[in-house]
């Protein structure tokens, strides 16, 4: 059963969204700068932020169906 969505849940989820947003911004800047090494590092950081968010939701009892690339067409 999923945990209730209360203030604590929303606060933690907002923190995870903010972390993902910061990681994506850094990834975007590395891409725009053409800095391949920095891009690879930032891509890893962004992926970790996504995993943290999805893990939090899963641990809270919310199933997330992540589409595969071929499913997006």
1-42, pLDDT tens digit by residue? 788 899 999 999 999 999 999 999 999 999 999 989 999 999
Residue with tokens 């969204």: 17
Top-confidence residue, 71 or 10: 10
Model confidence at 71, in pLDDT bands (50, 70, 90)? Answer: low
**Which DSSP category does 5 fall into?**
-
Query: How many helices (H) and strands (E) in the chain?
Result: 2, 0
The reported pLDDT for the residue numbered 72 is: 52
| Average pLDDT for 48-72 | 84
The residue written with tokens 């975007």 in the block is 28
- 49: which residues sit within 8 A by CB, 6+ positions away? 16, 19, 20, 22, 23, 24
pTM here? 0.80
Ranges assigned E (strand) in 1-73:
none
């Amino acid at each position: 059963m999923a945990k209730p969505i209360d203030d604590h849940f929303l606060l933690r989820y907002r923190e995870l969204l903010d972390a993902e947003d910061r990681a994506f911004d850094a990834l975007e800047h590395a891409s725009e700068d053409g800095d391949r090494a920095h891009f690879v590092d930032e891509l890893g950081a962004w992926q970790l932020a996504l995993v943290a968010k999805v893990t939090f939701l899963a641990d809270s009892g919310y199933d997330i169906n992540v589409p595969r690339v071929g499913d997006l067409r």
